[in-house]
Amino acid sequence: MSGFAFTDLETTGLSESDDRITQIAAIRTDENFKIRGVFKMHVYLPDEIELSDYAREITGITRESLQREPPEEIVIRAYLDFCYSDDPLVFAAYNKQFDMRMIIAACHRYPGMYELFKKRIKTPAYCVMKAAEEHLPDVPRIYREDGKYSQYKLELVAKHLGIRIKPHDALEDIAATLKIAKHIRRIKGGR
């Protein structure tokens, strides 16, 4: 195996068909999680794509801040070029289903991009959130007013492990995700 592409996104919302990526960050590592490269780009947001108030509020990303950024096709290609190595990299993310779903949807919008994704990214992916659920049972629950709780949100697990994070910045989030993955590997007896 050649390594991992730890990846995080900020988006306009949660729908892969209606929403778009506004920021993508990745950390390329070897199989032992040693950093081999860092990538971060913002994405131009076309006028027809809505940026939700919630997304704007939590990320601080505005339509105006994205006006001079490159279009999605260029950013996705740059990300896939960053992920290039002799062998495909394993996709790794904190909530792999969301991030992978959004990247694949973006790839399908451009001819040949999904085929390039399949050449550069190896699946099955590594979900750090699932690993945290399995190996960090002592993460405290945070109860909301409605009686429901959060336990394995990225910020909560990072705080539990003493990892500083400014949530909802893709590079900050993926750096914290990598630290959590390293912690889990250590407690499992890996390097």
CA torsion angle for 62, 64, 67, 73 (degrees, to 10)?
A: 20
Helix, strand, coil % (nearest 5) of the chain? 40, 20, 40
Q: In 3D, which of 106, 109, 44, 40 has the Cα closest to residue 70?
A: 44
Residue 51 host element (H or E): none
Distances (CA, A) of 19 to 14, 36, 46, 51, 190: 7, 30, 11, 8, 38
Domain count, the chain: 1
Residues 149-174: what's their mean pLDDT? 93
Residue 163 host element (H or E): none
Tokens 């694949």 found at: 104
Q: Chain centroid to CA 29: how far?
A: 14
Tokens 């991030």 found at: 99
What is the residue-averaged pLDDT of the chain? Answer: 93
Predicted confidence (pLDDT) per residue in 24-71, tens digit: 999 999 999 999 999 999 999 999 999 999 999 999 999 999 999 999
Distance CA 114, CA 110 (A): 8
- Domain with 54, as residue range(s), is 4-187
Predicted confidence (pLDDT) per residue in 120-135, tens digit: 998 889 999 999 999 9
Distance CA 136, CA 152 (A): 9
Instruction: Return the pLDDT at 2.
Output: 79
Predicted confidence (pLDDT) per residue in 74-98, tens digit: 999 999 999 987 788 999 999 999 9
Task: Decide if pLDDT at 190 tops 70.
Answer: no
Instruction: Return the pLDDT at 103.
Output: 97
Instruction: Return the pLDDT at 191.
Output: 56
Residues 91-116: what's their mean pLDDT? 96
Q: Any idea what the CATH number is for the domain that residue 78 is in?
A: 3.30.420.10
In percent, the amount of the chain with pLDDT more than 90 equals: 83
Instruction: Return the pLDDT at 163.
Output: 96
Confidence of residue 141 (pLDDT cuts 50, 70, 90): confident
